[in-house]
Chains A and B, each alone.
Chain A
Amino acid sequence: MHRVLMLFVLLVMPVAATAVSEVYPFDSSADQERFRTLMSELRCPKCQNQNIFDSNAPIAKDMRDEVYRMLQDGATDQEVKNALVSRFGEFVLYKPEFSQRTVLLWVTPLIAVLGGVLIVIGVILRSRQREDDTAPLSEEERRKAERILSGDDNSPR
Chain B
Amino acid sequence: MRRVLLFIPVALAVALGIVLFAGIGKDPNRLESALIGKPVPAFELADLQNPDAVHHDNVFKGQVSLLNVWGTWCPACRDEHGDLVRLANVEGVRIIGLNYKDNRDAALQWLDRLGNPYALSLFDPQGKLGFDLGVYGAPETYVIDAEGIVRYRHVGVVNERVWLDVLQPLLQQYGGQG
A66 near B131 with CB under 8 A, answer: yes
Option from B28, B32, B132, B137 in Cβ contact (under 8 Å) with A59: B137
Q: Mark A57-74, 1 if CB is under 8 A from B, else 0.
A: 111001000100000000
Tell me whether A59 and B31 are in contact in the complex, defined as CB-CB below 8 angstroms, given that A66-B131, A87-B131 are known contacts.
no
Q: How long is the Cα–Cα vector from A154 to B31 in the complex, in angstroms?
A: 84
Chain A residues with CB under 8 Å of B33's CB are 89
A89 near B32 with CB under 8 A, answer: yes
Tell me whether A87 and B31 are in contact in the complex, defined as CB-CB below 8 angstroms, given that A46-B137, A58-B101, A59-B137 are known contacts.
no
Is the CB of B136 closer than 8 A to any CB of chain A? yes
Q: How long is the Cα–Cα vector from A31 to B1 in the complex, in angstroms?
A: 60
Is the CB of B125 closer than 8 A to any CB of chain A? no
Q: For the complex, would chain A's binding face be called helix, strand, loop or mixed by DSSP majority? A: helix
Q: How long is the Cα–Cα vector from A45 to B32 in the complex, in angstroms?
A: 11
A59 near B34 with CB under 8 A, answer: no
Count chain A residues whose beta carbon lies closer than 8 angstroms to a beta carbon of B.
15
Interface residues of B in 24-44 (CB under 8 A from A): 28-29, 31-35
A88 near B134 with CB under 8 A, answer: yes
The total of Cβ contacts below 8 Å across the A-B interface reads 35
Q: Which of B31, B101, B131, B136 has the most CB atoms of chain A within a 10 A radius of its CB? A: B136
Q: Mark A18-50, 1 if CB is under 8 A from B, else 0.
A: 000000000000000000000000000110100
Is the CB of B133 closer than 8 A to any CB of chain A? yes
Q: How long is the Cα–Cα vector from A89 to B135 in the complex, in angstroms?
A: 11
B34 near A45 with CB under 8 A, answer: no
Q: How long is the Cα–Cα vector from A5 to B31 in the complex, in angstroms?
A: 50
5 contacts between A and B (CB under 8 A): A45-B136, A62-B131, A87-B131, A88-B134, A89-B134
Given A45-B134, A62-B127; 4 other pairs, CB 8 A cutoff: A59-B136, A89-B32, A89-B33, A89-B34
Which A residues are closer than 8 A to B by beta carbons? 45-46, 48, 57-59, 62, 66, 85-91
